[in-house]
Amino acid sequence: MYLEPAIGMVVGLALLGRVPSRFAILGIALVITAGIGATRTGNRPPVTTSPETLPVT
């Protein structure tokens, strides 16, 4: 999800010829950095597949 602004910028550049400003590029870089940081440091509980946790059918 954090790559969507960068993809939009590339599409705008390729299809519309819109050159992004320095602030737009900086903003996209910050969004990508924040997304990578959130993904790498996210605290998720481990997935267990013991028989006690499986649904009964």
What pLDDT is attached to residue 40?
Answer: 85
Q: How buried is 28 (Cβ within 10 angstroms: 0-12 exposed, 13-18 middle, 19+ buried)?
A: buried
Better-predicted residue by pLDDT, 53 or 37 = 37
pLDDT tens column, 24-38: 999 999 999 998 888
The reported pLDDT for the residue numbered 42 is 76
Question: What's the pLDDT at 5?
Answer: 87
Whole-angstrom CA distances from 20 to 3, 7, 8, 33 are: 16, 12, 11, 18
**How far apart, in whole angstroms, are the C-alpha atoms of residue 18 and residue 56?**
56
pLDDT tens digits, one per residue of 2-21: 788 889 999 999 999 989 99
Domain ranges of the chain: 4-40
- Is the entire prediction scored with pTM above 0.75? no
